[in-house]
Structure 1
């Protein structure tokens, strides 16, 4: 019998117990946070810009509540992390007419954060219309529309649009310019390329490729909580390189194919079908991690099939960015590279925090991998119910 003096556990047993409790608590905390806070995630704004002879018009689709509340969205992934989160929640519950009035009252301050510039001169902007969406689930972002216009000075100098960093990310799409229309993804207060008043701002293939890398990365980190959990599910099956490589390769190959097919219009599956199935895929990998003893012969095939679903999910977001017909292949490749960098970042962080230190311990599976996988499966199960029944 092991000698335990003065009622104390051996140090190794005590440490393992503390570690087990801490990691299980962390896993459950992740599960608790992933569901409700995902509902408050920061959405990029989208603006369609039309440049006429003497006027510029910007038609926005955005969440008005953070703008009205004055939330600093730079680097923020969730409005619950803001010090004015309660005000954002209050605004979400307003009826459309009340929200529209609140936006009109805040517009002068908001307009100062949009810089439309022609040849060094700032174009004054005025609000033409605002249309708030009906009140739905107040836990979810509410997308509304508003239109601003400004007079352009004489001449043919191009237009530059700059979106303040505190307003988050902006997708800028030039209308009426055909396949050469400008498409930009503005983050961290970046300015657009000069946009010609007539014709389009033709991008090179390389520029389009580079522009869409951050779009793909951001769709994983920080916005893609469901994709993050799926990738973590792959990681927790085994920290060994070979099983992880097989799974990631299968997942990458599959979502690349369906992403391309969906964006090209060859395949179309409603989000009401895709999103619950993505949640189900998260449940599956979490449960199989617990029930299996390692890589099963069918695991890469299962991951391949789930990758097809996730590719359709990526496509639903990517089509909102106004790909156009110019440099489409370069944009798709750039987006996929960004997605892969995001996935590798998630795996690298998980390995640095868990795999490197504990992956070779004989208790790793019981103390770390299984509790984390159970938490992942529980979150996926909740999302499935939320996306089908609630």
Structure 2
């Protein structure tokens, strides 16, 4: 009885610690790319923007947050979001002044002063959703100009830049603080299919690591079912096949399901796989089919991201494939990292490794992971776009579980008892929290 109570308390402690760390970042996504359509003709440059003006005006560093609620000055965004459309439109000149000072647009190396032609801020948008405005800018350029460069300011998040009105137009994906190559005004700067493919691989990877915490937990739920490779291959294959289908259909606009439905169901899928891990140590005959169904949901979630980029038709397929490849690389990276973390514990459980060396290894790894939580690492946090402890604390808990698995290796299924089940309990609790938040909060 004492051992059973100990195990229950251990699992709950792991779960509560994991959920307390992870749920801090589980909020509705609000930071979306700005879509910019650039037209230069007869001495006039027009830039039509689909943009979240409140996010840009708030001063939030949109390069390092995925959700405005995660920013230290989130209250500034909320205050702006509560303003009327006319009040937001009145704030546009201050943003434009900063962009012109940068400058945002250069033609043949010379800055172009932009002026506002029109600002349309929509009304009656749910306060929990980003309000996407239409902002048209115009500047005078020499009639014999040859090329233009767009420099997207640091802290502005991502931008999809699309050239209009020419054959073979340029389309590019710019991060904040970067600039486009010189875009030939006569056209011909369109990326090849291969370039578009390569461009969107890192975009897909980034959507898993570090931004896709829900997808990370789902993949880890697949990993913790069994220590054997075959069940993992079956699950990952079913998941990959399914989300590839709906990623394509959703991004092409052939299938549309509101995020208010997809996001809670994704959270529910996390709960399902984690709970099944607790009660089953092997691949049931129906699990690959269930995983396939959940993969369809996750594909719709990926599609909503790619659909925001507004790619032209002739670049869409290679970009779609590149994005999907990036997602797969991200998922395999998650699995590889966790496999390395638990590898020595599994070797000891199979009688292939030394107990003392493994215990020393996991004690050292757990201590290092926890110690690093207190070391300021702003550059790492910026790269991860999340607090560093968000990743290190769960790793420290996994290392601790591996230590216990080695310490009590004589018990039945030590890895499952001290690592797989506690981790699955934690994943299930986080998924349950997300489901409640996305439906009721």
Q: TM-score w.r.t. structure 1 length?
A: 0.83
For the pair 1:294 / 2:277, whether they are aligned, the reply is no
Q: Residues 275 and 377 of structure 1: is their aligned pair in 2 closer, same or farther, counting only changes over 3 Å? A: closer
Counterparts in 2 of 1:239 and 1:158: CA distance versus 1, 3 Å: farther
Where in structure 1 are there 5+ consecutive unaligned residues? 3-8
Tell me, yes or no, if structure 1 residue 379 matches structure 2 residue 433. yes
Per the normalisation by structure 2, the TM-score is 0.74
Aligned residue among 199, 202, 207 for 2:195 = 207
* Structure 2 runs not aligned, ≥5 long: 342-394, 406-413
Is residue 289–residue 373 contact of structure 1 (8 Å, CA) maintained in 2? no
Aligned length: 373
State the shift of 1:76 in Å.
Answer: 2.7
Aligned to 2:39: 50
* CA positional deviation for 1:167: 1.0
Q: In 2, are the aligned partners of 1:243 and 1:295 still within 8 Å (CA)?
A: yes
Q: Provide Cα deviations, 1:191-215, integer angstroms capped at 9, x if missing partner.
A: 2232222334221222111111122
SS across alignment from 2:151: strand
The answer to whether residue 208 in structure 2 is matched with residue 154 in structure 1 is: no
Deviation at 1:186, TM superposition (A): 0.7
Equivalent residue for 1:64?
53
- After superposition, the CA RMSD in angstroms is 3.2
| Structure 1 residues 307 and 374: alpha-carbon distance in aligned structure 2, compared to 1, 3 A threshold | closer
* Superposed CA offset, 1:227-259 (max 9, x none): 333223323334554333322222112222332
Match of 1:226 in 2: 214
Q: Deviation of residue 116 (structure 1)?
A: 1.3
Check 1:349–1:60 CA distance in 2 against 1; reply closer, same or farther (3 A cut): farther
Report the CA distance between 1:187 and its aligned residue: 1.4
Which of 364, 369, 382 pairs up with 2:418?
364
- The aligned runs of 1:1-390 (5 Å cut-off) are 20=11, 22-30=13-21, 32-35=23-26, 38-39=27-28, 41-113=30-102, 115-134=104-123, 136-177=125-166, 180-238=168-226, 240-264=228-252, 267-271=254-258, 274-351=262-339, 352=341, 353=395, 358=401, 361=405, 362=414, 363-365=417-419, 368-382=422-436, 385-386=439-440
> How many angstroms apart in 2 are the aligned matches of 1:143 and 1:151?
26
**In structure 1, how many angstroms separate the alpha carbons of the residues matched to 2:252 and 2:74?**
39
**Shift in alpha-carbon separation, 1:268–1:374, aligned structure 2, 3 A:** closer
